[in-house]
Amino acid sequence: MSKLKIGILGASRGMDFAMRILPGWEYAEIAAVCESYPPLLEKCIQFFQERGQSVFCTSSFDDLLEAGIDAVIIANYANEHAPYAIRALDRRIHVYSEVQPVQTLAEACLLCDAVERSGKVYAYGENYCYFDNTFAMRRHYEDGEIGEAVCLEGTFCNDCSPKWHLLTRGIRDHWRNYVPSSFYCTHSIGPLLFSTGLRPVRVHGLEAPRLTHMAEKGARCGSGASLSMDMSNGGMGRSLNTNGFKHPYIASYRLFGENGTIEATPDSVTVYRYDREFRYDVKSEKASFMPFRHRPELDLGPVSNSDATGFGLFVAKILGDPVGERYSIDVYRALDMALPGLLGYRSILKDGIPFEVPDLRDPAVRDRYREDRYATDPRTPEPWRLPTSKSGTPEVDESVYEAVREDLARVDLTPGMK
């Protein structure tokens, strides 16, 4: 069988796949890379030349689409994935999209349309759904060990301030400097929906203020958000996501059920089961996921391994493997995970009033949101442009970004840097 030829848009994150996952893989190979930042594009060219790999490198996405690729990994700015995914789908190219899938509800409608008319595979690369602990949590829930879920709880805390210069490069309008505090929510919400099959139907939002150490880096948004959700089965969900709280990295999840609780941390999954004698049967395990034939055997740490699993499921779905069909995250489930962040921010700006989370599987529902272009993106025209925090859009002197660029100049910019 010939290998699937893979293109990558965005070398900063996308090169993680080229460097750690695709080399030597039986089912797919890197064929082309598109990167708009000249220093990083040069690093990519050098990287492949030193390894004797014939990989087409370009700054033009149109040229990438013309490079004979079968599928593309969309890993550019996180608020710009949808337009490029749509262009690829319209060229009948399979799409593996990094987080987040869309910036607006209007984009969400167009993305669903594009997937449906293309007949190609769209998969969402929410890698926190593909950690071993998440698979174990899903397995225990599907086995009915705690009964119906009544509350879902997810926390994602990753203090990015020490590496803000690497992430934003001192660019004033880099997406991380202005996206809503609730935008990057699928690391906390995704594993909950992946494990239970539920979807949120309403969302309320709260925002933490812009913290001083983030303001000093040029961030113009709140430093964290909490979302409360009404779930499709009548239960409730809670999400906390932050990139600026001063706390060690944590990604933890709880499913509270009628008969017990499943708790997942990066190291283990614990099931607490209640019986009629008011006793709990506690079962804790080091989670693992069964290997499948479209996933390379890697031991490069949890993120690279979860990327390999998610991308492997995407490839499996393209090749017709039922495992890929079952576990790969399609466009509708991706939007179930992401739309609470967009609408939760609208709730934040409206003092916490609830917003409906639409199910865009229904074209008639999509028609209600096709003109909904609300976003914090500075390029968004009035009247659709939203303030970057509940307190408004702060003014930031250019000297702040100059200082960030000075920090960046002291390090070596390497492909694969997140």
Q: What is the pLDDT of residues 273-292, one digit of tens each?
A: 876 554 555 555 555 555 66
Which pair of tokens denotes residue 374? 């609300």
**Cα distance between residue 40 and residue 30, in whole Å:** 17
Return the pLDDT at 216: 97
CA distance 160 to 118: 37
Question: Between vectors from CA 127 to CA 204 and to CA 103, what angle results, nearest 5°?
Answer: 45
C-alpha–C-alpha distance, residues 354 and 372, integer Å: 17
Taking each helix axis from N to C end, the angle separating 186-196 and 132-142, rounded to the nearest 10 degrees, works out to 30
Tens digit of each residue's pLDDT (9 = 90 or more) over 345-371 = 999 999 999 999 999 999 999 999 999
Q: List the 122-124 sheet strands across, edge first.
A: 56-58, 28-34, 4-9, 71-74, 94-97, 122-124
| Residue 102 near residue 335, CB atoms below 8 Å | yes
Domains recognised in the chain with CATH numbers: 4-127 (3.40.50.720), 136-287+330-411 (3.30.360.10)
DSSP state of 380: P
What global pTM score does this model have?
0.94
Beta strands, E only, 78-189 = 94-97, 122-124, 149-157
Kindly give the confidence (pLDDT) of every residue in the chain, 418 residues in length, as a single tens digit, with 9 standing for 90 and above.
689 999 999 998 998 898 888 887 889 999 999 999 898 999 999 999 999 999 999 999 999 999 999 999 999 999 999 999 999 999 999 999 999 999 999 999 999 999 999 999 999 999 999 988 898 899 899 999 899 999 999 999 999 999 999 999 999 999 999 999 999 999 999 999 999 999 999 999 999 999 999 999 999 999 999 999 999 999 999 999 999 999 999 999 999 999 999 999 887 888 888 765 545 555 555 555 556 677 777 667 777 788 989 999 999 999 999 999 999 999 999 999 999 999 999 999 999 999 999 999 999 999 999 999 999 999 999 999 999 999 999 999 999 999 999 999 988 665 544 4
Backbone angles phi, psi at 228, to 5 degrees: -110, 130
Burial class (CB in 10 A: 0-12, 13-18, 19+), 139: middle
pLDDT of residue 418: 40
Nearest to 92 by CA among 70, 109, 60: 70
Contact 261, 254 (CB under 8 A): yes
pLDDT at 294: 77
Q: Buried b vs exposed e over 198-207: b needs ≥16 C-beta within 10 Å?
A: bbbbebbbbb
| pLDDT for position 135 | 87
